[in-house]
A and B are shown apart, each in its own frame.
Chain A
C-alpha cells in the first residue's frame, strides 16, 4: 500500500512536467494546425540554456529558469517567423516534414555545441528526502511540481482572462472571423508558437536538474508530449493538463510493477491504445478530430 502511494506521488510529480510539455504542443496544433515534431528540441534548448546560465554565467538557480523560458520562446518566435510563416497555406504534411528537418538540425547543432557527454545541473536543494508519513520525496521534485503547476495555471489564466488569450481562442475557433474582428493572425501565430516553445523550455529547465542533460533528450520529451496530447485530444488544453498526470502515474506504475526497462514503452502503448479506441482523446466531450 505504501509502495502504491509512493508510486502515485512520484507519478503526479513527474506528470505535471508532462502536462507542461503537452500544453505547449496542443496549443500549437490547435491554433496553427502545425504538428510540431521539433517540440522536444525546445525542451532540450531550455535544459541547456538553464545549464549554461548556471554553470557558465553562474546565475542564481531561480533566475536560470525564467532565462531558459525566454531563450525557448525567442527561438520559437524566430522559427515561426523564418520557417512557418512562409509556409502558411501549405499542406499540413509539408509543414510536418519541415518541422522534422528542424528537429534533426536543432538536435545535431546541440550535439555539436555541447558534445555527447551527459551533464548534470547543480541545484541548491538538499538531496535528503522529505519524509511525509509513509512516503518520501526529494525537495527538488516538489519545487519542480510547484513551478510546473504555477506555469500551467498561468497559461490557463492567460488564455481565459486576458485580451491576448481571447484573441488566441478566437483564432482557434475561426481564423477568418477573428481576422475580421481586428485580430492580427500573424502576430497571434508568432506568439502562440513562442508560447508553446517557452513552455517546453520551462519543462526542460525544470526536469534537467532532475535527470541528466544530453543532446537527444528531446526525443523522449517529444514522445511524452505527443502521448499527452493524444491522451487529451489534439488541441484540448484541459485534456493535455490531465493527460500529463495520467501518463506520469501510468509510467510510474508500469516501471514499478512491470519492468523499469519498458518504462518508456508505456507512452508508446498509450498512444496506440488511445488512437485505436478513442482517437478524440480520453477527455474529449465533443469530436474535435478533423
Chain B
C-alpha cells in the first residue's frame, strides 16, 4: 500500500510536464520541488536532531547569492556556481553548529535568527558586492555542455522541472541514507534524550554540527537552483517568509519522517496557488499562521504520520481481535 502510493507519486511526478500544459502550473510545481529540497534540509535539523533553525533562509540566500555572484560577476560556469552554493552554506552551517556547541531549544532558535538577521543586513548594505536592494539580474540559465556536442541550455520550464525533480530525488536519497546510517540513529538518540545518548558515547556536538552542515548545504543547493531558475537574486531571498514556509511544510507534513517534508512542500505550494484566485497574499500568510496553530493542535505529528495511522498494520489485522 505504502509502496503503491510511492510508485503512483513518482509516476505522477515524472510525467507531470506531459499533462500540465499551463506554464504557470508547471512553475508552481518547480517551486514545490525547490521547497521540497528546503523542507527536507530543515527536517534534518528539526525532525531528527529536534533543534529548530529559524535562520534557514540565510543558507538558502547564501546559496542563491554564491552562484549568482560567481556566474554574473565572476563569469564562472553555473555548475561551479551551484557547487559553491552547496559548499559556502555548508561552511556557514559548520560555523553555526560550532557556535551553538551546547545551545539547545530556544537558545539555538535565537542564535539562528540572529545569524540570518546579520546575513540579511550584509546583503542589503554591502552595495559593492551584492548591489544592495537592487539585486543581481541576469543570472545565467543552467546548461548541459558535453564535449563534442552543442551546449543545451536548460531554459525551458519542462527542462528545469526535471532538474528540480532530480534534485528532490537526490536530496531524498541523501536523507534516507543518512537516517538509516549510524549518524541517523545517533541524531534520533540525541533528540530523544541527550544525556542518555551521551552516556553511551554519542558526542552530541559532533553530530549536531554534522547535521547542521548537511542541512545548510542542502538549503544552499535549493537556493542555487532558485537563483538559476528565476535568473534574479535580491535580498528578498533572506525574507523570514521563506523560513516560515519551510517550518510549516515540515511541521504540517510530519517532522521526523522523510515523506512528510515532501508532501508538506507540494501541499503548501500548490494549495496557496489554488487559493490565489480567491484570496490575496496577506490572506494566505494569515491562513498559514492559523493553519500552523491548527496542525499543532489537531495533528501534532503531521499529515503523513496521521495518514499512516489511519489504516491498521497488516500483522495486526491477522491477529485475533
Contacts and interface: CB of A to CB of B under 8 A. Distances in A.
The dominant DSSP class at the A interface is helix
B289 A261 contact: no
A193 interface: no
Contact of A275 (B111, B247, B297): B111
Given A112-B282, A268-B117, A98 B289 contact: no
Contacts of B102: 279
A58 B280 CA distance: 31
Residue with the highest number of chain A CB atoms closer than 10 Å, among B115, B290, B296? B296
Contact of A35 (B103, B109, B118): B109
A106 B285 CA distance: 10
Contacts of B291: 101
Contacts of A86: 297
A96 interface: yes
B105 A92 contact: yes
A72 B300 CA distance: 29
A97 B288 CA distance: 12
B107 interface: yes
A125 interface: no
Contacts of B6: none
B230 interface: no
Interface in B279-311: 280, 282-283, 285-286, 288-293, 296-297, 300
A272 B114 contact: yes
Interface string A89-127: 010111011101111111111011000000000000000
> How many residues of B sit at the interface, in one of the four size bands?
35 or more
A44 B20 CA distance: 43
Contact of A98 (B54, B101, B293): B293
The dominant DSSP class at the B interface is helix
Nearest to B108: A275
Contacts of B114: 267-269, 271-272
B106 interface: yes
B50 interface: yes
> How many residues of A sit at the interface, in one of the four size bands?
35 or more
A68 to B, nearest CB: 22
B14 to A, nearest CB: 34
A262 B283 CA distance: 32
Interface string A242-266: 0000000000000000010110110
A92 B106 contact: yes
A261 B109 CA distance: 24
B217 to A, nearest CB: 21
A97 B247 contact: yes
Nearest to A273: B114
A101 B296 contact: yes
Nearest to A264: B121
B286 A112 contact: yes
A259 B50 CA distance: 37
Contacts of A87: 297
B162 interface: no
A35 B99 CA distance: 21
B121 A101 contact: no
A108 B117 contact: no
B103 A275 contact: yes
A214 B103 CA distance: 33
B110 A271 contact: yes
A96 B297 CA distance: 13
B45 to A, nearest CB: 12
A174 B300 CA distance: 29
B110 A101 contact: no
B232 interface: no
Contacts of B154: none
B52 interface: yes
Interface string B230-251: 0000000000100010010001
A90 B280 CA distance: 34
B247 to A, nearest CB: 7
Nearest to B127: A261
B291 to A, nearest CB: 8
Nearest to A276: B99
Nearest to B293: A101
Interface of A: 35, 83, 86-87, 90, 92-94, 96-98, 100-109, 111-112, 219, 223, 226, 230, 234, 259, 261-262, 264-265, 267-269, 271-272, 275-276, 279, 289
21 contacts: A92-B105, A93-B105, A97-B251, A98-B296, A100-B54, A100-B247, A104-B285, A107-B285, A108-B282, A108-B283, A108-B286, A109-B286, A111-B285, A112-B282, A112-B286, A219-B240, A226-B110, A259-B125, A261-B121, A262-B121, A265-B121
8 pairs of A and B residues whose beta carbons are closest in the complex: A105-B289, A104-B289, A101-B292, A101-B293, A268-B114, A108-B286, A261-B125, A108-B285
Interface of B: 50, 52, 54, 99, 101-103, 105-107, 109-111, 113-115, 117-118, 121, 124-125, 240, 244, 247, 251, 280, 282-283, 285-286, 288-293, 296-297, 300
Given A112-B282, A223-B113, A261-B125, 18 more contacts: A93-B105, A96-B106, A97-B251, A100-B54, A101-B289, A108-B288, A111-B285, A112-B280, A230-B110, A265-B121, A267-B114, A267-B117, A268-B113, A268-B121, A269-B114, A271-B111, A272-B99, A279-B107
